[in-house]
Amino acid sequence: MQNAKDSLYMALRTRLTTINPQRTILLRGTVRPGILVEEAEAPFNQLPNDVFVLRWLGLAIDLDLASTMAAEECEIVYQSCGTQSCGGLDRGRSLSKMDEELLAMIQPFFTPKLDYTATPPAAMLTQVFWDEPQLGPVVVQRDQLSRSAKVMVYSYQEQGE
């Protein structure tokens, strides 16, 4: 499933750079697109604002098929306090902007599966695919608005996986 997880993240990251190239994060001294995988970074005391954070949850396997199918739930968490220049009064607009970017990033609902342990990444035979996101309610915490979207991600296990 790791190849599928990597492929989803890289697909969303690539799409985000086209949708909103200004959404970036300075992480470990490098400016990167504003999307990261929580389990692949040092633990956060508090999630960064204005960035998409991917968190992997449950896993299910269907062994009765010609190729084993794995399904893993991905939670995409994002939050915003708005901008300083507006005194945070635009936090609702900022979160709506992130909602729009998420919906644009998630389509199309598939991407080729690549093995990112190889250099350059090696194309595999199948595609990773997923459902429409299940958007959760806005959570208000003082001046911060956050939302979580859950996506079920599917992939077929190939030989060697």
Partner 1 sequence: MAANWFSAPAPVARRVRGYFAPVNRATQTPVLFDPAEQGGFSLDAPPAPWIDLGWIQGFARKPASKTSLVLAGIPAGTLEQVRETLEAQVNFEFLSWTKLTMALATGSQHMNLLAPASGAAPAADGAQAAPAVTPQSGSTATFVALAATDAATFSAGSIIAVDVDYTGQTGFVGSPVAGAYVRQALTDVDYIRRVTFNVGLVSQLNSTGLTLAEPLPGGAPAAAAKLQAVTGFVDREGGSFYQEWSALFVIQGSQGERIFFHYPRLQARAGAEETAVPLDSKHQEGQARVLLKGQFLALPVIDPLDGEHVLCYRSFLPAPMALV
Total residues found in the chain within this entry? 161
Residue 110 or 116 having the CB closest to partner 1: 110
Pick the closest to residue 151 from 38, 52, 56, 48 (CA basis): 56
Instruction: Answer yes or no whether residue 126 interacts with partner 1 by CB under 8 A.
Output: yes
Q: Minimum CB separation from partner 1 for residue 111, in Å? A: 11
Q: Which secondary-structure segment (H or E) carries 54?
A: strand 52-62
Applying the rule CB under 8 A, the residues between 67 and 86 that interact with partner 1 are: 67, 69
Applying the rule CB under 8 A, the residues between 15 and 74 that interact with partner 1 are: 65-67, 69
Q: Whole-angstrom Cα distance, residue 16 to residue 68?
A: 30
Instruction: Answer yes or no whether residue 158 interacts with partner 1 by CB under 8 A.
Output: yes
- The answer to whether the CB of 74 falls within 8 A of the CB of 54 is yes
Instruction: Please identify which residue in 59, 125, 139, 140 interacts with partner 1, judged by CB under 8 A.
Output: 125
